[in-house]
Amino acid sequence: MKTTIKDQKNPINYTFSKGIILVVDDNPANLQVLSSFLDQSSFEVWAARSGERAIQRLENDDLPDLILLDVMMPGIDGFETCKQLKSNPRLQDIPVIFMTALSETADKIKGLQLGAVDYITKPFQHEEVLVRIENHLKLRNLTQTLIAKNTELEQTQTQLIQAEKVAALGQITAGIAHEVNNPINFIAGNLNFVEQYVQEVVSLLYLYQKYLPNPPDEIKTAIQKSDLNFLLNDLSKIIQSMQVGTDRVTEIVSYLNNFSRHREAGKKLVNLHEGLDSTLLILGHRFKYNAHQPTIKLVKEYGSLPLVECFPGEINQVFMNLICNAIDAIEEKYKNKDIETVYQNPGVIKIKTEAIGEQVILRIADNGSGINEAYPTKIFDAFYTTKPVGKGTGLGLSIAYQIVVNNHHGKLTYNSKSGEGIEFIIELPIR
């Protein structure tokens, strides 16, 4: 325990303290009595003889657990001192107990309205002072414990929701990929035989034309009616188009399988560009023109990235959350605006990647409305959202932050100006 009186040169040091009490009183006798009593009760005591000195003392890094504050003091009185303390976010949670000879109810109400938790009436009863201090310290400790547990619970809940969302989305994409894969492989495999067989039939028809140039009138009429030459030329083009279509579906299935890689245990060496492209494919319909907005322009500036060791399913979820947010921001910005205005300044989402040293940096930017300056400290908090009611859960950015920072030891930051859009920066270690 350590007792410190203002201007005292030789503070007494002990090894145990029940808490730090800052006593603010312009009366040296009161300071000495309280300090001595609290010192004997195993509290560390700091003392200040005015509100100004108390506020100056609290500018240091260390803070007291409770403040005993005299009401009637020269300079700024106790009420004004309390008001200034409670207006400072760093100090506002410290319990303040007023010490006063005032017994008017109005004075007590004024103090409580300013943020004080209790009153101690002069002259002091030592036992009463001790009980009130200990009760409020217990209450503060319980409150801090509750806040910490609530934060821990929110993080756990967010992690569970994130895991469930990743699993559900992965199962859906994996299921679709599986259901589409078999029939498309069947079609793609048989198209090669169809092309071969059709070519053989066409060759046979050309042989007939070569060695039987004058068929019966009935066959001539049928050839003219069906425009045989056009059919033979177009049939080859149709088969080629079908081949292009099956190749595209096969590519989509590959992207879906890539996105659903959450089922793989542990970290993997991953091509992040494949994860980005898979996510963009799944969200492709939201970039396209519809009755409410023109096409959202996608700008990709992919640098040369090495394979990155990560949990691929989780990183894909980060891409999904950030790109969905970008699309939502653009849609919200242009909602209820005339189409001509939107066409003059269409929505743009820009994705840029690069490798710097031992880390990769991915930037996902949009030209939506950006983030209001009042929101920056809350943007990654669980359940916090700036979207309209029913539009968002407030979990997307919180989940992304936990995945990048907690699970991959990276960084997730952003740059934004209200009305001009926002850019999220993901920094991931390569290994």
The token pair at 212 is 């039987």
Tell me what pLDDT residue 165 has.
62
| Residue segments in the chain with a per-residue pLDDT below the cut of 50 | 1-15, 262, 389-390, 392
Q: What integer pLDDT is reported at residue 95 of this predicted model?
A: 92
pLDDT value at residue 268: 85
> Rounded to an integer, what distance in angstroms lies between the CA atom of residue 210 and that of residue 207?
5
Which residues have C-beta within 8 Å of that of residue 268, sequence separation ≥ 6?
261, 309, 310, 311, 312
DSSP H/E element including 4: strand 2-4
Q: What is the DSSP string of 355-370?
A: EETTEEEEEEEE-S--
Indicate yes or no: pTM above 0.85: no
d(CA 1, CA 11): 10
**What DSSP assignment string belongs to 134-176?**
HHHHHHHHHHHHHHHHHHHHHHHHHHHHHHHHHHHHHHHHHHH
pLDDT at site 64: 92
E strand residue ranges, 236-310: 268-270, 297-301, 308-310
Contact predicate 60/34, CB 8 Å: no
User: What pLDDT shows up at residue 361?
Assistant: 95
Contact criterion met (CB below 8 Å) for 85 and 94: yes
Pairing between strand 44-48 and 2-4? Answer: parallel
Q: Which of 138, 133, 159, 163 is nearest to 67 (CA)?
A: 133
- DSSP classification of residue 375: S
| Residue 236 CB partners (closer than 8 Å, separation 6+) | 198, 199, 202
Q: Tell me which residue of 319, 352, 363, 349 sits closest to 421, measured CA to CA.
A: 349
